Amino acid sequence: DIQMTQSPSSLSASVGDRVSITCRASQNIGSYLAWYQQKAGKAPKLLIYGASSLQSGVPSRFSGSGSVTYFTLTISSLQPEDFATYYCQQTYTTLVGYTFGQGTKLEIK
Amino acid sequence: EVQLVESGGGLVQPGGSLRLSCAASGFTFSNYWMHWVRQAPGKGLVWVSRINNDATGTSYADSVKGRFTISRDNARKTLYLQMNSLRAEDAAVYFCASGRRAFDIWGQGTMVTVSS
């Protein structure tokens, strides 16, 4: 199975801060990596696909980078509505499932 | 409007069965692979199962293999998840999801509680 490991598990930051979340894959997944934002009681929302492509309608302060096994989600200037939990997901293969990372909870400092 | 609406969740005893449904609208359902994802209370997202667009291929997480069956009816634009031999650890909100390059379409989720 492909394991996805996110870090940190939680993060405290202030409005206006620049923050980054990392995701490591246990094997080469090329650029088959997506990032989601989830708020309490809601379905996840796709932010980034293909490691660095911004989903339509997502603010440009969100960006993704990386390939092979190491990926990063960056929020350039945190807004109040960005405090949520973020998940990475490999979309490389469905033979073993489209595995998610364990999540990173972004909280207000 | 592109939409997925799940139904069928509820309270079931350990060892029991439940069938979840996911009704699609606003997009060409028969062109898309479909997935089930679950989330236990206070926990992260876990991919459960997927089915390809013409129902000729399926795959499952090891934790549900042999107990859950995914299916679809393209004429009814509906996805299903038959869950048998339910365990306490299957309790979760179950989401259906789809998309071309990742999951950009999600339902609101349906809650499954497994308890005696």
- Secondary structure class of B63 (helix, strand, coil): coil
Contact list in B for residue A96 (CB cut-off 8 A) is 59
Secondary structure of residue A32 in the 3-state scheme: coil
Structure tokens at A46: 């796709």
Query: CA A53, A84, B23, B19 torsion: positive or negative?
Result: positive
Name chain B contacts of A99, Cβ cutoff 8 Å: 47
Cα(B108)–Cα(A46) distance, rounded to whole angstroms?
14
Give the residue on B whose Cα is nearest the Cα of A58.
Answer: B104
- CB-based contact (8 Å) between A40 and chain B? no
pLDDT tens-digit map of B99-112: 988 999 999 999 99
Q: Rounded to whole angstroms, how far apart are CA atoms A63 and B105?
A: 20
Instruction: Give the chain A residue nearest B39 (alpha carbons).
Output: A43
- CA B11 to each of CA A46, A73, B44, B87, B113: distance values in angstroms, whole numbers, following the listed order: 30, 38, 21, 12, 5
CA-based nearest residue to A105, from A77, A80, A86:
A86
Lookup result for tokens 């069938």: B19
B63 φ/ψ sector (left φ>0, alpha ψ -120 to 50, else beta) = alpha
Q: List the pLDDT tens digit at each of the 109 positions of chain A.
A: 899 999 999 999 999 999 999 999 999 999 999 999 999 999 999 999 999 999 999 999 999 999 999 999 999 999 999 999 999 999 997 666 899 999 999 998 8
Residue of A nearest to B94 (CA): A43
Q: Which residues does chain A have within 8 Å of residue B99's beta carbon, measured at their own beta carbons?
A: 46, 49
- The tokens describing A106, both together, are 């972004």
Contact criterion met (CB < 8 Å) for B45 and A97: no
Tokens in use for A43? 């379905």
